[in-house]
Amino acid sequence: MQKKHIISTMLLCMFTIAIINWFYTPERIKSEKNIKNPTVFVHGYKGTHHSFGNMLDRFENIYGWGQTALIYKVSPAGKLNVYQLNNGHFTETMFVQVIFENNRASVRDTSGWLANLLAHMKKTYQINTVNLVGHSMGGLVSMNYIENHQDYTVYPSVNKLVAIGSPFDGIYSEPYFQIHHDPAAENLKPSSLALKTLRLNKDAVPEQLDVLSIGSTGDSVAMPESVEMIRKIVDETQLTYKMIDDGTLGHSELHEDARVDKMIYSFLQWKAERTAKD
């Protein structure tokens, strides 16, 4: 009797696991949802959840421009932890927030982690195209991904890129590097190989890619001259360049500014669920 009881218990456990897998695995979502061209938000050097958290909250809850549906947290070893919001009910305009736990890693390493999670999105949710929005170093990482990951059987293609306060010629402040000494900081030096490589690989930028670059005259980290160096990478026919003339708009304030919100909305041409508030 005891043996039969053990077998019955094992069968019950296997049945329970099968039911859980049926209802809660990403494959079920993949078969039911038609997700097209989501926008992926990539924070910059030393960034956290808060880097894009307030912006995404405004987009979803104030403007009604879409919905944050996925959060990817990437461990220092590159492990992906995926969090589905709203019970996996995805809207047509879908936002994905990326958070790198090692937020001081090199452009190359961070770009590789971004590639892995985008490959996961393609395999799991059948997403073939994305938009990328990167703040500061997040813009450099996104450009590195675009230049180096174009096997579209594995990775989604990038439809549009928004770079916000991205120093494509590096950070000019010497005192900045007296404080910061990690791999990311080394990449942000004007003479770094990482920045030179982005320019040398400019021919790898797909012709169909549209790019919006946003800067501010008040940004003392990504100064206007450095932001403008994106012109050495992206052809003028593909580039929309916006420099906000505001001495009070600093580097971290860029992703908290309503003017930047509206520039992103206009460029990506999301379908608003209701009229954005002024």
Find out whether 171 and 221 touch, Cβ atoms under 8 Å: yes
CA–CA distance, 108 with 80 (Å, rounded to integer):
17
Find out whether 58 and 261 touch, Cβ atoms under 8 Å: yes
What are 81-101's pLDDT values in tens digits?
A: 999 987 766 777 899 999 999
**Residue spans per domain, the chain:** 1-32, 35-268
Fold annotation for 35-268? Rossmann fold (3.40.50)
DSSP assignments along 20-87, one per residue = HHHHHSHHHHHHH----S-EEEE--TT--HHHHHHHHHIIIIIS---EEEEEEEE-TT--EEEEE-GG
- Output the tens digit of pLDDT for each of the chain's 278 residues: 454 444 455 555 554 444 444 343 343 334 335 567 899 999 999 999 999 999 999 999 999 999 999 999 999 999 999 999 877 667 778 999 999 999 999 999 999 999 999 999 999 999 999 999 999 999 999 999 999 999 999 999 999 999 999 999 999 999 999 999 999 999 999 999 999 999 999 999 999 999 999 999 999 999 999 999 999 999 999 999 999 999 999 999 999 999 999 999 999 987 544 334 44
Q: Is 107 helix (H, G, I), strand (E, B) or coil?
A: helix
